[in-house]
Each structure stands twice: as C-alpha cells, then as structure tokens.
Amino acid sequence: LDLRRHQLTTVRTPHDLNSMKMKRTPVRADHLDEGKNSSIGGVTPNKKRQINNRETTCSSSSDDQPCAVLHLNVGGDLTAVLRRTLTSIEDSMLASRFSGRWDDSLEKDRDGNFFIDQPLELFQPMINYLRAKSCETSLAPSVTSPEFESEIKNRDFIRMVEYFGMTPGIYPVVMEMCRGELDMARISGHPNLDIVSNAWSTFTLERRGHKRPITSFSVILGKVEEFRIGWVRTGHFVKKLRPGHHKGVGEEKFSYGLDCCRGGLLYEGSFTKLDGMCPTHIEEGTVICCENKGERWLVNGRLVASSIALVETFQLPPDLQQYSLVPAFSGKGDWKVCEVELDHETSNQKTTISHAHL
C-alpha cells in the first residue's frame, strides 16, 4: 500500500515525460448510458445524439450529395430548399454549383448559409416552379412558368433564368407529332429533343406552360431519307393529329421551310432553288440552323439563304408574318433539335418578323 501511494505521488522530470509513452484508457460504451448527466470530454449523451442526427440528415440524400437541405441567403433573405430541387435542371449552372462538389468554395454569409446575390422576389418564384414540377401529375393542371405584372420584373426574371442556365427547365419546349402515325415514331423530351421516325411524318416544336415564342433553333441530322425544316402557323396548320399521307412542311398551307433534299425553299408548295445549297452536302451530321423565324438559314455554319437576299423571289406574305409561328419538321429518319432560342418578350398570339436588323 505504501509503495502504491509512493508511485502516485512521484514527481516526474521533463526528461521522463518526453520519454514515456502515453496510453489512452478505452471508454466502455455502457458508461455513456449510465445517466443523462454523465459526459465524456464535455459531450453529453443528448448532445451526442443531436450531432449524430444532424450528420445523418446531411448524408442521407445520396452518395454524392452530402446534404439534402440547403439553407440559402438570397439577397439578405433566408430560405431553405432541397438540394435535388436546385439541381433538377440538368446541365444548368445552378445544378453544377449546388451539386455538392463545390460546397466548400461557394460564397456563404457569416452564419454559413449559401449566399445568392439575387433578389428573393425573383429567385423564390423560380424555386416554387421547380417544386411544383417535382410533384406534377396528369390529374392536376399543368405547371405554368412564373409571370409578373411588371414588364421590368419579367425581363429581370428572364435575365436571371438565362444567367443560371435554367431556360430549358423554366421555359420548356416539347416535340409533338401533328401528321403521321404515333406508333411509327419515337420522341424524346428534355434535355434531348430527338426524333426517330420510321415513316414520313411531321412534328412541331411547341412551348409548354409559357408565352415566350421560339425564334431560332438548330437541327443535327442523322440518317434521313427526306427532310424539310421550317415554320407553320399555329391555330391553322396545327390543330390536331392527322394520320395518313400528307405533303409536309412547305407544301401544305400556312407553312414554309427549307427542302434539304432538293436544295431550296418552299412556301405553300412554291419552290425556290437556292444556288448556295447543294443537296449532296446534306448528310449524316449536317447541322442546319434557322434564325429569327426563317430570316436566315445556315448549313454547317455557311449562310445559304436570307430574307433580304431573296426579297424579289421569296418574300413571305404579310398575313403569315404577322401571326404566331412554331418550328416544324417533316421527314423519315432520325434527327435532333438543339440550341432553341426564345424571344425575350412574351406573346399571346401575334408576333412580327422584323428585317430591320439584317
């Protein structure tokens, strides 16, 4: 007993302290449950459970998304949103920024909330739209894009949506068959607007849930036997699906477009040959771009037609220019629509094609 008491009171020199190996005594797990007030290292069992619960919440969303709920400071206002809501639009800047890979480098306020330098009155409607789309069903009214009474707010909202790369999600467009047999074609939706048609069919590119007209688009051709690309007048050409044989874009009334196989422009059956366009150059991988509702046509980046150059031979009649037009495609084979551009102004019915800036 005297020897043990002597060992406990022995004073060790600095040399002894440096040379000795420190050993940690393992703590038995049942010691943590001996009472609510017991603690180790200042952490009570209740505190430990809170920490564990918080860690579980932030790691339960998915393997590569560390936290399911994000706390945001939007222009000075606090809000919270699910990570999957912010990342629901594939390939957008917002989806990339909040994917979880860049959380440590993103701007935060002094409380650790992710900071977004936008007014909440613009950002919140975009988040609410994404929330509504996530629970959209066929039994309920379709979700419509945010609109504001103030034209200035509308423009500011569109600018913000464009900045975050959210246009395809907030202002969606869809491909629909309007001539042909549904079982003869396969249509892919956002983000890939692909068409595979086993028979001569006509499709239109329609806006969904918003009023921003389509102004420009590009098409990447796959293997096509026949192909026409152009514009049709809504409300007349596009009414309902019509099965069976049909002439296609440019041949039918209220339509005009580019005939890729013959190398010219068509308007309601009237054909105009284009000297700068050779049908033999139309092959798999060809990119055709239509700008400003048919004012300019480019094939693989080369201008082949413009409304100014063809003013004497291919002038669209005023009655077609003054109405709402949508892109249309007639063909057999496969192709992909991309680089869809929308007007920055909303429109209910009419839209005017202007040649002033060319």
- Please give the torsion angle defined by the CA atoms of residues 147, 153, 156 and 157, in that order, rounded to the nearest 10 degrees: -20
In the predicted model, is pLDDT for residue 139 greater than 50?
yes
Give the residue, 246 or 2, on which the prediction is more confident.
Answer: 246
Give the residue, 312 or 150, on which the prediction is more confident.
Answer: 150
| Other CB atoms within 10 A of residue 296 CB | 18
| pLDDT tens figures, 238-291 | 666 677 678 889 998 888 889 988 888 888 888 888 877 776 667 899 999 999
pLDDT at residue 188, as a whole number: 86
In the predicted model, is pLDDT for residue 154 greater than 90?
yes
pLDDT at residue 39, as a whole number: 45
With pLDDT > 70 as the criterion, what percentage of the chain qualifies? 71
19-43 exposure pattern, b = at least 16 Cβ within 10 A, e = fewer: eeeeeeeeeeeeeeeeeeeeeeeee
Q: Return d(Cα 249, Cα 327) in angstroms, integer.
A: 10
pLDDT at residue 65, as a whole number: 45
In the predicted model, is pLDDT for residue 327 greater than 60?
yes
Alpha-carbon 91 to chain mean position: 6
211-222 average pLDDT score: 94
Confidence class of residue 141 from pLDDT cuts 50, 70 and 90?
Answer: confident
Q: Return d(Cα 253, Cα 265) in angstroms, integer.
A: 14
The token pair that represents 57 in the structure block: 């919440």
pLDDT at residue 169, as a whole number: 94
pLDDT at residue 348, as a whole number: 56
Instruction: Give the highest mean pLDDT range of 61-65, 168-172, 290-294.
Output: 168-172
In the predicted model, is pLDDT for residue 295 greater than 50?
yes
- Please give the torsion angle defined by the CA atoms of residues 172, 178, 182 and 184, in that order, rounded to the nearest 10 degrees: -100
| pLDDT tens figures, 82-117 | 999 999 998 899 999 999 999 999 999 999 999 999
Confidence class of residue 3 from pLDDT cuts 50, 70 and 90?
Answer: very low
186-213 average pLDDT score: 90
CA distances from 69 to 79, 89, 123 (A): 10, 17, 17
Q: Return d(Cα 269, Cα 228) in angstroms, integer.
A: 12
Instruction: Give the highest mean pLDDT range of 66-75, 119-128, 203-212.
Output: 119-128
pLDDT at residue 318, as a whole number: 56
Give the residue, 254 or 60, on which the prediction is more confident.
Answer: 254
Q: Return d(Cα 193, Cα 215) in angstroms, integer.
A: 16
pLDDT at residue 296, as a whole number: 87
pLDDT at residue 306, as a whole number: 80
In the predicted model, is pLDDT for residue 315 greater than 50?
yes
In the predicted model, is pLDDT for residue 34 greater than 80?
no
61-84 average pLDDT score: 82
Helix (H, G, I), strand (E, B) or coil at 170: helix
The token pair that represents 253 in the structure block: 């009334």
The owner of tokens 């009655």 is 319
Phi-psi region of 186 (alpha: psi -120 to 50; beta: other; left: phi over 0): beta
Confidence class of residue 305 from pLDDT cuts 50, 70 and 90?
Answer: confident
> How close are the terminal C-alpha atoms of the chain, in Å?
105
pLDDT at residue 278, as a whole number: 73
pTM: 0.73
pLDDT at residue 163, as a whole number: 96
- Nearest by Cα to 178 from 113, 254, 73: 254
Under DSSP, the state recorded for 242 is: B
Phi, psi of 61 (to 5 degrees): -75, -50
* Residues 6 or more apart in contact with residue 86 via CB below 8 angstroms: 70, 94, 95, 98, 127, 130
In the predicted model, is pLDDT for residue 60 greater than 90?
no
